[in-house]
Amino acid sequence: MLADYAVKVEDSRGRRYPEPQHPYRDAFQRDRDRVIHARAFRRLENKTQVFTHRYSDHFRNRLTHTIEVAQISRTIAIALGLNEELVEALALAHDIGHPPFGHSGEAALDACMRKFGKSFDHNLHALRIVEDFEQRYAAFPGLNLTFEVREGIIKHSHDYTVEKYPHLAEYVLDQRPPLEAQLIDHTDEIAYNTADLDDGYEAELLDLDEIRANVRIFDRAYREAETRYPDARRKLKFNEALKAMMNRLVTDLIENTARRLSEVDLHTVGDVRNYPERIAGFSAEVDAERGEAKKFLYRSLYHSENLRPQKADGEKIVTDVFSALMGHPEQLPGGYQQKIGTSSQERVVCDYIAGMTDNFILDLHHKLCN
């Protein structure tokens, strides 16, 4: 049973290219399946989350992170009476626009585009992937996803304005996205805050005492684990604490979002869309704990000296390949060379690089830059 404020599939604004209904899958289920079978989704398996494969293949990659986001998102959607199929489709698609080497690769690609007065935004690139780059069907370009999934891909974590992005006007930029899309930004952070603590500890880049001293939500859970399992190995106590930390974040997101819906008296999708701010979110207390964990990870892991060499390598490789292809566009695949006539060369090169996996761009860098 869906809540009144949930998106009903029968109320969908439909697809850009009309299609007959499927006999036993609704439109959002079909969108989820199309994302799963997309080439861009498969490529996530070889795209960096935090640790590149050159560091270790033991840790999460962009695909396993996406699966964890989908699991958390489905749990919350069910608890709030939201459309689980729509939430799952959005969770699975939320990172397909990421380039190789994680956020360092994205920063390098954006810096390359800034030289031409442009930018790179992985959400906007994801939209272009599902609308154009994926070529799987004879009847239409892209994946022909429903409006609600395409809207959620760009709006789940960012508010765009029609003044700055007039080409996105169809996505009702003056309105908030439905709750199904609003959830994804929070479940994404729940997933990486807990997973990156786990991987950082396993990689021996984060010290347990340091985590406990700086992440209160984890320390409180670890003390409870020590009381409950005094004879357990330290890693198992760590796992119990991490599980409790995730549970607190998920539970608070569910309860606080439900409370806010009640307090501001929102009952329909239209109410949610027209409210001046996003409704889904944590309570003030838990949001402070979430922010503390995030700041710790940025300071002690993402920007650590241990990871600085792999980040620098990723940025250099992306920058080198971009420069090489700008100087020698004949090295682009034929399909991309043809696009230069209808799009700027720098955008075509950017699109090509953004679709690469870590291994592919490493091989291409060796070929182009010796």
Q: Which is it for the CA torsion 160, 336, 91, 11, positive or negative?
A: positive
Residue type, 45: E
Question: How would residue 370 be classed by pLDDT, with cut points 50, 70 and 90?
Answer: confident
Decide if 3 is inside a domain.
Answer: no
In this structure, the answer to whether residues 171 and 87 fall within a common structural domain is yes
- What pLDDT shows up at residue 51? 79
In the structure, what pLDDT confidence band is assigned to residue 310 with cuts at 50, 70 and 90?
A: confident
Tens of pLDDT, residue by residue over 194-222, are 999 999 999 999 999 999 999 999 999 99
Question: 225 pLDDT band (50/70/90 cuts)?
Answer: very high
Q: What is the pLDDT of residues 15-56, one digit of tens each?
A: 999 999 999 999 999 999 999 999 999 999 999 888 776 666
d(Cα 33, Cα 276) in Å, to the nearest integer?
A: 33
- When the pLDDT of each residue in the chain is averaged and rounded to a whole number, the result is 95
Q: What is the CATH number of the domain that holds 120?
A: 1.10.3210.10
- What pLDDT does residue 55 have? 62
Residue 49: the pLDDT is 87
171, 83: one domain: yes
pTM: 0.94
Task: Clarify whether residues 174 and 33 are in a common domain.
Answer: yes
Tell me whether residue 2 is in a domain. no
d(CA 213, CA 55): 27
Claim to verify: residue 121 and residue 263 sit in the same structural domain: yes
CA distance 271 to 287: 24
Last residue of a domain, one of 262, 277, 309: 309
Residue 354, token pair as written in the block: 């953004």
Shared-domain flag, residues 347 and 275: no
CA angle 302, 304, 309 (to 5 degrees): 95
Same-domain pairing of 238 and 340 = no
- In a domain, residue 120? The reply is yes
DSSP string, 328-350: -GGGS-HHHHHHTTTS-HHHHHH
Q: Which domain holds residue 167?
A: 9-309
321 shares its domain with 290: no
| 267 plus 352 within the same structural domain | no
pLDDT at 53: 64
SS3 (DSSP) at 29? helix
In a domain, 1, yes or no: no
Residues 289, 344 within the same domain? no
- One domain, residues 28 and 172: yes
Beta bridge partners of 21: none
Q: Quick check: 88 and 76 in contact, CB under 8 A? A: no
Give the confidence band of 57 by pLDDT, cuts at 50, 70, 90.
Answer: low
pLDDT value for 95? 95
Asked if residue 85 belongs to a domain, the reply is yes
Domain count across the chain: 2
